[in-house]
Amino acid sequence: MRGEDRINNTLPEELILEIFRRLESKPSRDACSLVCKRWLSLERFSRTTLRIGASISPEEFASLSRRFLHITSIHVDERLSVSLPSLSPSPRRKRGRNSSSPSSSSKRKKLNGKTHSAVENVESCSLADAGLTALANGFPRLENLSLIWCPNVSSFGMCSLAEKCALLRSLDLQGCFVGDQGLAAVGKFCDQLEDLNLRFCEGVTDVGFIDLVVGRANSLKSIRVAASAKITDLSMEAVGSHCKLLEVLFLDSECIHDKGLIAVAQGCNRLKDLSLQCVLLTDKAFSVVGDLCTSLERLALYSFQHFSDKGMRAIGKGCKMLKNLTLSDCSFLSCKGLEAIANGCKELTRVEINGCHNIGTHGLEAIGKSCSRLNELGLLYCQRIGNSALQEIGKGCKSLEILHLVDCSGIGDNAMCSIAKGCRNLKKLHIRRCYEIGNKGIVAVGKHCKSLTELSVRFCDKVGDEALIAIGKGCSLQQLNVSGCNHISDAGILAIAKGCPQLTHLDISVLQNIGDMALAELGEGCPLLKDLVLSHCHNITDTGLNHLVQKCTLLESCHMVYCPGITSAGVATVVSSCPHIKKVLIEKWKVSERTTRRAGSVISYLCMDL
C-alpha cells in the first residue's frame, strides 16, 4: 500500500543501528541520515568517526558534539573542504510552473553568488587554538586525533586539548606548528598515548620532545619524525632510555647521527618497524641494529650515502624475523648485501628495490632461491637485473601475488613466461616502460595466472591485441591500464569487454587505434565500470561515448582531454547519463553553460593558463 512505512514499523532500533555500523563510507551514512527523522536520530548514535576540513569554526564543533555522542576518532585536514554531516532531512521540492521561472533562476544565481563568497570566507580561515579548544570541550572521550597541515594550531590549543582529552591513544600533528610547551602537556596528561606523528613539525625541539617521551615512556609504541631540524641525537637517546615498548620508528632527518640510532637499538628491543632517511647514518649504527633488534619485521632505507654491504650483512645475520624490506636510492649496496639478506632473512614476504644501481641479477637470484614465502616484489629503475633473476623468482617463490616492474630494461618475455608458469597465484601485475616485454610474456600470464585481477602495462610498446585476447580468455580483470601501448586496437579491447565483466577501472589513454566500436563493446560487456581514462584517444567520438554510458551507469570518473572527436554534446551525455559521476576531466571550452549549471561541481578543467 502506498505510503506505508514497513521498515520503520517492523525493524527495532537495535537492528537499524547495527545496519548503520556496517556502512563503511561517509556518503552512505549521510544518505541514510536524510531518509527520515527517526533515521537521522539513530544514525548519530552509531557514528564514531568524523573526517572534516580544517576551516571548521568553533561553533560548528560545538554543534557536532551535541549531535554525535560517541565520537572517538576525528580527522581534520587542511587539504579537505568543509564537509559536515547533514543536520536535518532535506525538504521535498514542490513541483510547479514557477520552479523554472526567470525569477527563480535569478534567485538561484544570487544564492549561488552568496554561497560562493561564503565558502571563500570560510576557506580563508584554518583551524586555530579556539577551534581546538572547542573540539576538546565537545569530545572529551576522543581516542584518535589527526590534525593534518593545520599551521594555526599552537601550544596553547594543544595544552587545552591535552588536559581535556586524556584518553588519546593516537595523535597526528603532521604539518602543525606546535611548540615544546604543547608537547610537554601531551606528555603530562595523555596517559594512554601510543602513536605520535610529528612529521614536518618545525616548531618542535629536543626540549619538548624529551618532555613528551619521558612523560609517556610507559605507553608510546610508535613515533614518526620528519623534517624537524631541531630534533637531534639527544631526543633519540631519550627514546632509547625510556620507550621500552617502542615498536615503530620513522625518522627522516639530516641531524641524526650513529649515536642516536644506536641508543634506540640498545634501549628498544621490541622494535618491529624501522623506516629511515638519515644521510649521516653509517654501517656502524646498522651493525648494532642487526645485533640487538632481533624482533625487526620491516626495514625501509631511503637515500643512504654511507651504508654499504657491511651493514646489510649485519641485518641479515641478526634480524631473522625480517619480512618487509625496502631499499631506495642506496647507491653503495651491491648484490653481496642482498645475498646476505636472502641467506639470513628467509621469512621475507615483500621486497622493493628502487634505484639501487649496483644491485644486479645475482642479488635477486639469491632472493628467489632462499625466500620461498615472497608475496610481493617491486623492481623500479633496476637496469642491472636481467631475465635469469625473475626466472629464479618463478622457480622458488610460488606464493608471489604482486609484481611491480618499472624501467627495467634487462627484463623481457622470457622472465615473464617464467613468472607466469611458476607464480600461478599472481593477482596484480604492474609494468611500466619495460620495452622488452611484449605479447609473448603477457600471453603466458593470461594462460597460467587465472587469479589475476589487476594488469597494468603502461608504455610497453611490444604489447598488442594478442596479449589482451589471451588476458580476456584467461583472467577476470577488475582493473586494466594499457596507456601508451600503441599496438592495441579495438580487437584487444573487444576481448577484454567479452572476457572481463567485473572490470571497474580502465585506462586506454594515448591509444591511437581505439575507436567507437571499443567503447560500444565496453558498454555491453562491462556494466560495472567506475573509472575510465580516454585522454589522447583521437579516434573516439561522441557516438562511442553515448553507447558506453547507456549501460555503464555506475561510472564515477571519466578523463577525456585531448580527444578531438569529443564535443560539448559528449560531455553533457556523460554528466546526464551517469547519476554517480563525481569527476569529469575535460578542456574548459568543451563544457557548455547548461552543463556547467547542471554539474559544475564534478567538472575538472585541464589547466591551460600556466
* pLDDT 10s digits, 501-526: 999 999 999 999 999 999 999 999 99
DSSP letter, residue 380: E
Q: Check residue 63 and give its pLDDT.
A: 87
CB 365 within 8 A of CB 339: no
DSSP letter, residue 97: G
**207 contact partners, CB below 8 Å, separation of at least 6:** 180
Strands 298-302 and 273-277: parallel
C-alpha dihedral (491, 497, 500, 501), degrees to nearest 10: -170
Residue 249 pairs in a beta bridge with 223, 274
CB atoms within 10 A of CB 292: 19
How many angstroms separate the Cα of 187 from the Cα of each of 161, 171, 228, 536?
A: 12, 12, 19, 55
Within the chain, what is the greatest distance between any pair of CA atoms? 82
The mean pLDDT value for 543-553 works out to 95
The single residue listed with the C-alpha cell 637531534 is 232
Give the 3-state DSSP-derived string for 501-549, with helices as H, strands as E and coil as C. Answer: CCCCEEECCCCCECCHHHHHHHHHHCCCCCEEECCCCCCCCHHHHHHHH
CB 69 within 8 A of CB 45: yes
**351 contact partners, CB below 8 Å, separation of at least 6:** 325, 326, 367, 371, 374, 376, 377, 378
**At how many degrees (to 10) do helices 155-164 and 129-138 cross?**
0
3-state SS, residue 309: helix
pLDDT band of residue 119 (cuts 50, 70, 90) is: very low
Backbone angles phi, psi at 156, to 5 degrees: -60, -50
Backbone angles phi, psi at 272, to 5 degrees: -115, -30
Q: Please, is 199 exposed, middle or buried when counting C-beta atoms within 10 Å of its C-beta (0-12, 13-18, 19+)?
A: middle
What is the dihedral sign for C-alpha 533, 538, 543, 547?
negative
Q: Check residue 84 and give its pLDDT.
A: 53
Strands 73-77 and 195-199: unpaired
How many angstroms separate the Cα of 387 from the Cα of each of 129, 215, 341?
A: 58, 54, 21
CB atoms within 10 A of CB 24: 7
pLDDT of residue 12 exceeding 50, the answer is yes
The mean pLDDT value for 1-28 works out to 71
The single residue listed with the C-alpha cell 539513530 is 42
The mean pLDDT value for 551-565 works out to 95
As a residue count, the chain comes to 610
pLDDT of residue 568 exceeding 90, the answer is yes
pLDDT of residue 113 exceeding 80, the answer is no
Q: How far apart are CA 443 and CA 420, in angstroms?
A: 9
Q: How far apart are CA 147 and CA 602, in angstroms?
A: 27
pLDDT of residue 112 exceeding 50, the answer is no
pLDDT of residue 101 exceeding 90, the answer is no
CB 605 within 8 A of CB 588: yes
* pLDDT 10s digits, 34-48: 788 777 777 777 788
What is the dihedral sign for C-alpha 207, 212, 217, 220?
negative
Q: What are the DSSP calls for 6-36, one per residue?
A: HHHHHS-HHHHHHHHHT--SHHHHHHHHTS-
**At how many degrees (to 10) do helices 335-344 and 309-318 cross?**
0
Q: Check residue 90 and give its pLDDT.
A: 45
Q: How far is CA 247 from the centre of its chain?
A: 23
Strands 557-559 and 298-302: unpaired
pLDDT of residue 121 exceeding 60, the answer is no
Highest-confidence segment of 224-228, 276-280, 454-458, 604-608: 454-458
198 φψ region: left (φ > 0), alpha (ψ -120 to 50), beta (else): alpha
> Among 57, 7, 53, 49, which residue's Cα sits nearest to residue 32?
7
How many angstroms separate the Cα of 499 from the Cα of each of 121, 448, 525?
A: 51, 15, 8
* pLDDT 10s digits, 388-410: 999 999 999 999 999 999 999 99
Share of the chain above pLDDT 70, in %: 90
Mean pLDDT over the full length of the chain = 89
> Among 173, 184, 174, which residue's Cα sits nearest to residue 206?
184
DSSP letter, residue 207: H
Give the 3-state DSSP-derived string for 579-591, with helices as H, strands as E and coil as C. Answer: CCCCEEEECHHHC
CB 177 within 8 A of CB 201: yes
How many angstroms separate the Cα of 107 from the Cα of each of 33, 100, 184, 214?
A: 28, 11, 53, 61
Q: Which amino acid is at 67?
A: R
The mean pLDDT value for 366-371 works out to 97
CB atoms within 10 A of CB 546: 18
